[in-house]
Structures are given as structure tokens and as C-alpha cells.
Amino acid sequence: MNDVIGSIGQAIGLAKRLREISKNIEDAEFTNVLADLNRELATTKLALADVIEQNAQLKMEVNELKNSQGSNIGDLEFRGFAYFKNNNDGPFCSACYETKNQQVRLSKTTGMRQSLGDFKCPSCNQTYSSQ
């Protein structure tokens, strides 16, 4: 990425040299094209600086997410059909916890849905039987 900024910087330097040379040339069209080139290079350099800053910010966010992903591990204990906290808080969906590291509380099923299982995850729709 820094190579690109360096290349743009060199291009701006070359455009400045061309501007100095153009002072000896009395061609208005050449001067206008050179001015347009300078403006576009400056705009490109600013845009690239923004992209580099955004890229650095995104890298920080990715690292924070990677570091926090393992923070819930060990908080829950698998018992029977689902995960529970040490203070018996739960049950939490084992599928969501194991695949997405999310603690999603299971809901009790009612009515005809009980034939599918006693609990259902509101996130992934997995059903669980406590039997």
C-alpha cells in the first residue's frame, strides 16, 4: 500500500516537473491537461490515504473480534441436552454456542410444538428434548 502512495507521490513530482517545462511552452491546452492531471493525482492520493486509514481501522476491529471470540469459552457447561452457566442459568443453545460462540437462551415449547422437543432456539430454530 505504501508503494502505491510512493508511486502517486512520484507521479505528482513528475507532473510538477512537466509544469515547469510547460512554462517554456505556450500551449494552453497542454497546461490545462497538466492541471487536470495534478488535480486527479491529488484526489487519488487523498482517497488512498482514506482507504489506508479505513483498512487500519478494520484490521483493529477484526483483531478485537478474534480476541473476544474466545472470551465466552469456559463460562458454560454442557449438561444433558444444552449448556448451562455454573449458577444453573440456562439452558443455552449448544448449536449456537459451538458454531457462533453465542449464548442464545432456549425457549420452552408449547402446544403442538412440544412433540418436536421441550425447548427451541429462537436464533437457529434447533429443537431440544430434555429427556
pLDDT > 90? residue 58: yes
Which residue, of 70, 86, 104, is where some domain finishes?
Answer: 70
Determine contact, residues 95/87, Cβ cutoff 8 Å.
no
Domain encompassing residue 79: 73-128
Q: Is there a single domain that holds both residue 27 and residue 52?
A: yes
Task: Name every residue whose Cβ is closer than 8 Å to that of residue 18 and which is 6 or more positions away in sequence.
Answer: 34, 37
Q: How far apart are CA 51 and CA 123, in angstroms?
A: 35
Percent of the chain with pLDDT over 70: 85
Q: How far apart are CA 92 and CA 106, in angstroms?
A: 5
Considering the entire predicted model, what is its pTM?
A: 0.44
Determine contact, residues 5/49, Cβ cutoff 8 Å.
yes
Q: Is there a single domain that holds both residue 90 and residue 101?
A: yes
Mean pLDDT of the chain: 81
Task: Name every residue whose Cβ is closer than 8 Å to that of residue 117 and which is 6 or more positions away in sequence.
Answer: 109, 127, 128, 129
Q: What is the pLDDT of residue 71?
A: 54
Q: Is there a single domain that holds both residue 61 and residue 10?
A: yes
Query: Among 5-14, 35-44, 67-76, where is mean pLDDT lowest?
Result: 67-76
Give the model confidence (pLDDT) of 33-45 as tens digits: 778 888 888 888 8
Q: What is the pLDDT of residue 72?
A: 53
Q: Is there a single domain that holds both residue 19 and residue 52?
A: yes
Which residue, of 70, 99, 117, is where some domain finishes?
Answer: 70
Q: Could you tell me which residue, 63 or 71, shows the higher pLDDT?
A: 63
Q: Is there a single domain that holds both residue 56 and residue 77?
A: no
Q: What is the pLDDT of residue 122?
A: 92
Q: How many domains does the chain have?
A: 2
Give the model confidence (pLDDT) of 93-118 as tens digits: 988 888 888 889 999 888 766 667 78
Q: Is there a single domain that holds both residue 14 and residue 62?
A: yes
